[in-house]
Amino acid sequence: MRLLAVRRRDRKWEILLSDFWIKTWVRILAAGPRVEGGMDFVLGRAEEEALQLRLPALIPVLLLGASLQVPAQEAELKFKEVCSACHTIGGGRLVGPDLMGVSERQDRAWLVKFIVDPAGVLASGDPYAQELLAASNKVPMIPTAGMTAEMAGQILDYIEAQSGVTVAAPPEVIAPFTAAEAQQGESYFHGGKGLRNGGPACISCHTLAGLSGWGGGRLGPDLTKVFERYAGARGIKAWLENPVSAVMTPVFAEQSLTKTEIRALSAYLEQAALSEAETAEPMLASFFLSGLLLAAALLGLFGFLWRNRYRATRTPMVMGSKR
Ligand code: HEC
Ligand code: HEC
């Protein structure tokens, strides 16, 4: 809106070189066709025509402007894509701690090292990292693929800048789940009800206590207590909005879960976490038993179907050889 107040003569240039366009170009360049956010101001007809005419000529100029902003933009994108699954800046703890003012808690070299290789720092027995781990229900921070010290530094710059301008907000309040939602969540989990954007049912890779039948897949972790481990409804919600895992990200980035699905699945996971069991019952025994029973049944069936085999084949053969 600020843009529309500039003098008429400068308007097209102002618009084209405005923050908004530079950001949009950076986004397009960084993210390919997946542009987030969209337009938040309305162009008049004259502006639209001017944009269409001038854009090709202006691309080099825009690229130059954009390249100056790339590091900051990239860091912001990375934060939103990866870190925001477990962290807020000023919005309270999720799976991981609120990162507002983190640079005041720890020195930069440590933070860079931790962001690049959290597992390594934890394994080294670093006492501060152990404290963090205990405070987050023993859920360790997962390493981010391809993270470099340079990128970690840029993300820390972004966190610092945000910490300066954000006012810490009270943590988001999520209304209690209903039994109906938990039931709906169960059918999403089982695949009885398909996920709207076509994601695969959770049961193909996950199991949890109380699942009927042969239980779920074993590729992903047991989800019985994940609701507790992931700091409750807010933590689970942020994580499911943006699942960061080598296996789930590629599957669910394009086929994201809807708000309703996330609420229902969270309700179901909350219910599962209330169960006595820590994990799903081991299914190995029942698999083995089912296999044994099935084999016995098949043998019985064959015995019945070919019950005449002695009389028709074996007996004449034995008799013939005796003669
Ligand atoms: C899967 C969840 C998860 C993701 C994704 C994640 N973190 Fe973390 N992070 C944690 C947890 C849990 C802790 C604290 C426990 C520990 O020691 O691992 C933590 C701790 C931290 C700390 C130390 C906090 C403090 O209070 O000193 C920093 C800094 C940090 N993370 C930055 C990042 C950045 C930057 C990213 C994105 C590149 C990121 N994290 C992605 C879960 C996550
Ligand atoms: C294609 C297999 C696959 C599907 C489908 C899948 N997940 Fe996952 N999920 C995984 C794997 C693998 C992990 C382990 C994350 C890692 O370490 O990278 C995981 C991790 C998780 C976690 C974190 C668990 C933990 O203890 O760290 C949650 C929560 C989760 N999945 C929920 C779901 C839900 C809800 C669905 C259904 C909408 C789902 N997943 C569908 C493979 C899958």
pLDDT at position 44: 64
Residue 102 maps to a domain? yes
Does 106 contact ligand 1 (Cβ within 6 A)? yes
Q: Which amino acid is at 323?
A: R
Distance from Cα 196 to the centre of ligand 2, integer Å: 18
Task: Map tokens 């609120």 to a residue.
Answer: 98
Q: Decide: 112 in ligand 1 pocket, CB within 6 A.
A: no
> Each residue of 41-66: pLDDT tens digit?
455 666 666 666 666 666 666 666 55
Is the pLDDT assigned to residue 31 strictly greater than 60? no
Split into its structural domains, the chain has a count of 4
Residue 304's domain comprises: 288-322
What's the CA-to-centroid distance between 92 and ligand 2, angstroms?
24
Give first-to-last CA distance, the chain, whole Å: 108
CA of residue 189 to ligand 1 center, whole Å? 28
User: Quick one: which atom of ligand 1 is closest to the CA of 97?
Assistant: 26
Q: Is residue 171 part of a domain?
A: no
**Do 185 and 115 share a structural domain?**
no
Residue 205, classified by CB atoms within 10 Å of its CB into exposed (0-12), middle (13-18) or buried (19+), is middle
Phi-psi label, residue 202: left if phi above 0, alpha if psi -120 to 50, beta otherwise: alpha
Regarding whether 6 and 66 lie in a shared domain, the answer is yes
Look up residue 44 and give its two tokens: 């008049």
The CATH number assigned to the domain holding 185 equals: 1.10.760.10
Residue 119 amino acid letter: A
145-162: average pLDDT = 95
Residue 188 and residue 142 share a domain: no
- The pLDDT confidence band at residue 299, using thresholds 50, 70 and 90, is confident
Question: Which atom of ligand 2 is found nearest the CA of 222?
Answer: 26
Bigger pLDDT: 310 or 224?
224
Q: Which atom of ligand 1 is nearest to the CA of 156?
A: 35
Q: What is the pLDDT of residues 174-229, one digit of tens each?
A: 999 999 999 999 999 999 999 999 999 999 999 998 887 677 888 899 999 999 99
Does residue 237 sit in the same domain as residue 303? no
Ligand 1 within 6 A of 129 CB?
A: yes
Nearest residue (CA) to ligand 2, atom 19: 220
Residue 75: CB within 6 Å of ligand 1? no
The CB of 275 under 6 Å from ligand 2? The reply is no
pTM summary value? 0.71
CB of 97 within 6 A of ligand 1: the answer is yes
Q: Is any ligand 2 atom within 6 A of the Cβ of residue 219?
A: yes
Instruction: Check if 206 has its Cβ closer than 6 Å to any atom of ligand 2.
Output: yes
195 and 160 together in one domain: no
For 223-252, what is the mean pLDDT?
92
Determine whether 302 is exposed, middle or buried from the number of CB atoms within 10 Å of its CB (0-12, 13-18, 19+).
Answer: exposed
> Is the C-alpha dihedral spanning 194, 223, 231, 145 positive or negative?
negative
User: What is the average per-residue pLDDT within 160-187?
Assistant: 91
